[in-house]
Structure 1
């Protein structure tokens, strides 16, 4: 079954979000001053790349093979944690921004799941959405364990 225009648009939007997450997490991994957080951000970037590959595969299988404007960029090189004080950002703020991003991304996938006609594509999108919710949980736990996100 070919993609509907709605499915194509939703998948392209989520692909944009995945590429932005990859960039963000790679940058945050290089900027974080905490070794554990560097690893969390690196792991998330890798998982987001898997999602981007899945979405790009869906588009390619449906004859849509255009270059995404967010797809290529120069990955940060080395440890940039000394930039934190220069730009006035903390590990807590990096985590908070990442968590807010994941909340947005899971919401976007929810729409794509609900508006997808093809059951196979819907299952792939549901799988990615569940993984994105797991990313949010990882970020929340990292914040909560450091006292940066309190629940009362």
Structure 2
């Protein structure tokens, strides 16, 4: 069954979000000062790359060759944690921004899941959405364990 126009648009939108996450998490891994937080961002960037590859695969299988300006860029090189002070950014802010991003991305996948006609595509999108929720949980736990997210 070919993709509907709506499915194609939703998948391309989510692909854009995945590339944004990859870029953001690679940059945050370079900027974070805490080694454990650097690793969290590195791990998330790798998982988001898997999601992007899945979405590209869906599009390719349906004859769509995605041309995405966000796919390639120059990755940050080395440890950039020294720029945190000059930018006024903390590890807590990096984690909080990433958590907000994951909330948005999960919501975007929710729309794609609900508006997908093809049950196989819907299942793949549901799987990615669950993983995105897991990413949010990882970020939440990293913040909460450091006292940066208070649940009252």
- Given the two structures, how large is their TM-score scaled by the length of structure 1? 0.99
Aligned match of 1:134:
134
Aligned match of 1:71:
71
Structure 1 CA distance for aligned equivalents of residues 87 and 104 of structure 2? 25
Structure 2 CA distance for aligned equivalents of residues 5 and 88 of structure 1? 43
Q: 4+ runs of 1 displaced by more than 4 Å? A: none
Aligned match of 1:86:
86
Gaps spanning 5+ residues in structure 2: where?
none
Q: Calculate the aligned-residue CA RMSD, in Å.
A: 0.4
C-alpha displacement of 1:67: 2.0
C-alpha displacement of 1:72: 0.3
Q: Is the 8 A contact 2:102 2:135 kept in 1?
A: yes
Q: How far does the alpha carbon of each residue in 1:10-54 deviate from its partner, in whole angstroms, 9 at most, with x for none?
A: 000000000000000000000000000000000000000000000
Aligned match of 1:17:
17
- Given the two structures, how large is their TM-score scaled by the length of structure 2? 0.99
